[in-house]
Amino acid sequence: MNRLLTTILLLATFGTAVAKDYTLSTPNTTIILSAEQGKQLYFRYYGAKAEAADVRAAGRMMKYDAYPAFGTRCDAPYASLVKQHDGDNATKFVVEKVEKVDGNHLSTLSFWLSDVAHPNLVVKVNYSAYNDCDVVKINTEYFNNGKKPIVLQKYMSAVLPIQSDNCVLMQLEGNTKNENNEVVMPLPVGQYNISTTTASRIAQYFNASFMLGLDGRLEEQSGPVIAGTLIWMGNSHFEFYNTPVARVQTLFMGGINPAASDYTLAGGKSLTAPEMVFTYSSNGKGDATRSLHRWARKHQLLDGTKQREILLNSWEGVHFDISETSMVDMTRDFAALGGEMFVVDDGWFGDKYPRNNGTTSLGDWMIAPSKLPNGIRPLIDLAHSNGMKFGIWIEPEMVNNPSELYEKHPDWVLRHPDFEPTYGRGKTQLILDLTNPKVQDHVFKVVDDLLTAYPDIYYIKWDNNMSMHNAHSQYLPNELQSNLYVDYTLALEKVLKRIRAKYPNVVIQLCASGGGRLNYGFMPYFQEMWTSDQTDAYHRVLIQWGAMNFYPSNMLAAHVGSAYSKYTQRLIPIKYRFDVASMCRLGMEMVPAKLNEAEKEYAKRAIAEYKVIRPVIQQGELYRLVSPYEGKRDFTSLMYVNEAKDKAVFFAFRHFFKHDMSNIIIRLQGLNPDAKYRIREVAPEVASKPATINGKVISGRYLMEEGVVIPELVKGYTKNAPLGEVRAGNDCRSIILELTEIK
């Protein structure tokens, strides 16, 4: 049992008019605040684990308003701007009381602050620290204890002062089929914002995550780094201040994007601003990533430590062309390759309007008789009789005009009643208005009906292919329209909670035109997320690598597409495609029957091998060795190491061949220096001809200090192509090695 211990601290010290330090620590980090009753709350320190006395003696104690409000020092950044019922918008927060709650894995300090002029306004700023991961969480709750409504105009979750004037920022930017590009730059002087405004497809352009190198560099294995991510399924807003007006060298604030989001809070009501997760590392960004992954798998991601299945998804193979024959063939053919699940993607539904393309039918979640005259029961049974599980695609928050649902409920969509809406995909798609409780029931029912009719559906792909245009609710009264962005997000969370209460075990993948919803907020409800629709495996290396800065491999779905990517027109051999997808949760997305015999034989071996190395890939610690974003960029290498450090899986990719690459040395990381490891090539291209390093035994120390040169990756390829026609010249070569400690 998780026995909670709440202590109302404060008190003896209060009254003596001496500010008291409040310290929370994780295994390797410490956060310090100081509070005095009736005075401002101060943020003092976030960094390597330390005693307050050392921090003070070393001159590293900051003294910055921990939750600055508009109204006092109005030239400085503020986290809070509240318009009172009488129109006054100045606030002065002072400490009322402090609480400490010790839970199983985390301790939380809550500072209750009230406004001097309008005591009806109270905020509770929470700081939590984990004892099993180097992660802290910060968020703020707003209470309107008066009778009349107030309007929250800015209500940031977290404020983090940073004692450095030389920060390097890394963020992720991109778009569909080109998600999660790493962008690194010195934090510019002035104010720099990362804001998302796409609401429903929240990570479409920017991810609500960042890393900051604090001493002028952002390196993998050294230097102080802070990483942060916001747990919120809606619009987010990060502010970085590198300006004297911040009165510390760098100031960070993060939370809900206040743009067009003035939030009316009725008397007696509260709003909990979402949590921000931070990690601090003294040893570079590699550690920061591993801390976030560890925390995500243990504490945030649904079934974060459970094994994920290898699946075939029908989308890239047949698109909307769903038929019983095509589904039956794919199921059988994938089972023959060793697959574990078959997923029917878009195109299976719609009665009056069968779904033949992206222009109709969303909302009509009945099987299209013209496409599957016998329904999906035979497909589920076929999957089972082939030893596989079954999954299906839905996009339940959406509707097309035309659809039967839209004909019945035109008032259920987000749009302004007085002008034509902006349509999404197919120029007919609209978003359902989740603030309307009837719509919440509908979305719940989409899942409930499906799982009631077919309780043996194991997996759902939950898609969302539209950013929130027409942000106007036909349900909310006009005076509450600016609550929409927040209320939509809270309503979505409510529906997801209801689904999870009834269906805790069904595996649900989150997709938004690819990785357009990658955010920690979805993790408690979705076991995995679709990383990208990009089918070019080289391009996917960049996308997956970017995503893995913040998101662990077991929640990132990665599928092997066909050799030719229609998105980039590159032709890529099957081994490289499998090796890239094996970095994460492996799947396939093609018509397996179109593989030639040599490719089929290879796919079979690669799938069988993935099953062997899967525990290390899905649960191991990630070590990045050669980045596709840095240096010459022809190479990429990374590895996973299990907790005991007696198993590791190493990946190396030669994307582009240049003559005489022979000096490419890759130094490994994360191994036990005192252990000896036997090396085995996983799924070599030709089973009987593994790489020359296969079978060798090398010490962990040597592998890490001096590294390896893999001749097969640095030399040109001279043999005849064994896997049929597909060859990208000398480009796109790769290797996976399994390392096992010899005990």
For residue 311, the minimal CB distance to ligand GLA (Å) is 13
CB of 603 to ligand GLA, least distance (A): 21
Confirm if 303 and 527 have CB atoms less than 8 A apart: yes
Separation between Cα atoms, residue 140 and residue 78, nearest integer Å: 14
Closest to ligand GLA by CB, 263 or 315: 315
Q: In angstroms, give the least distance from the CB of 25 to ligand GLA.
A: 42
- Kindly list the residues in this chain that would bind ligand GLA in the complex (CB under 6 A): 315, 345-346, 393, 463, 465, 511, 513-514, 533
Distance separating alpha carbons of residues 229 and 172, to the nearest angstrom:
11
112 vs 393, beta carbon nearer ligand GLA: 393
What's the closest the beta carbon of residue 513 comes to ligand GLA, in angstroms?
5
Q: In degrees, to the nearest 5, what angle opens at C-alpha 71 toward C-alphas 67 and 76?
A: 65
How many whole angstroms separate alpha carbon 704 and alpha carbon 714? 19
Q: 67 vs 393, which CB is nearer to ligand GLA? A: 393
Shortest separation between residue 345's beta carbon and ligand GLA, angstroms: 5
Q: Which CB sits closer to ligand GLA, 345 or 579?
A: 345
Two tokens at 728?
């990208």
Closest chain position to ligand GLA (CB):
346
Residue with tokens 């001496």, as numbered in its chain: 18
Classify burial at 50, counting beta carbons within 10 Å of its beta carbon; exposed 0-12, middle 13-18, buried 19 or more. middle
Q: Which of 362, 443 has the CB closer to ligand GLA?
A: 362
Pair of tokens at residue 589: 């997305």
Q: Which is nearer to ligand GLA, 322 or 414 (CB)?
A: 322
What is the closest distance, in whole angstroms, from the C-beta atom of residue 533 to ligand GLA in the complex?
Answer: 5
Among residues 305 and 370, whose Cβ is nearest to ligand GLA? 370
CB of 516 to ligand GLA, least distance (A): 8
Could you tell me if 737 and 672 are in contact, meaning their C-beta atoms sit under 8 angstroms apart?
no
CA neighbor of 131 nearest in space, from 218, 51, 29, 267: 29
**How far is it between the farthest Cα atoms of the chain?**
84
Please report, for the chain, how many H helices and E strands are present, in that order: 13, 38
Nearer of residues 513 and 637 to ligand GLA, judged by Cβ: 513
Q: CB-wise, 345 or 536, nearer to ligand GLA?
A: 345
Q: How far apart are CA 221 and CA 391, in angstroms?
A: 41
CB of 424 to ligand GLA, least distance (A): 11
- Residue 339 Cβ vs ligand GLA, minimum distance, rounded to whole Å: 18
Nearer to ligand GLA, 555 or 691 (CB): 555
- Tokens for 226, please give them: 């802070």
In whole angstroms, what is the distance from residue 628 CA to residue 659 CA? 19
> Which residue, 129 or 506, has its beta carbon nearer to ligand GLA?
506
683: region left, alpha or beta (phi > 0 left; psi from -120 to 50 alpha): left
Minimum CB distance to ligand GLA, residue 461 (Å): 6
Give the list of residues 6+ apart from residue 180 with CB closer than 8 angstroms, or none: 172, 174, 207, 515, 518, 531, 532, 542, 543, 544, 545, 546, 547, 549
Cα gap 394→362, rounded to integer Å: 9
CB of 171 to ligand GLA, least distance (A): 23
- For residue 389, give every residue at least 6 positions away whose Cβ sits within 8 Å of its Cβ, in sequence order, or none: 309, 311, 340, 341, 342, 383, 458, 459
Nearer to ligand GLA, 136 or 591 (CB): 591
CA distances from 152 to 30, 81, 193, 199, 426 (A): 31, 6, 20, 19, 37
Pairing outcome for strands 429-431 and 398-400: antiparallel
Residue (271 or 322) nearer to ligand GLA, CB? 322
Q: How far is the CB of 717 from ligand GLA (least distance, A)?
A: 32
DSSP secondary structure, 384-439, as one string: HHTT-EEEEEE-TTEEESSSHHHHH-GGGB---TTSPPPP-GGGTEEEB-TTSHHH
For residue 579, give the DSSP letter: H
Whole-number minimum distance, CB 514 to ligand GLA, in Å? 5
CA atoms of 285 and 203, how far apart (whole Å):
22
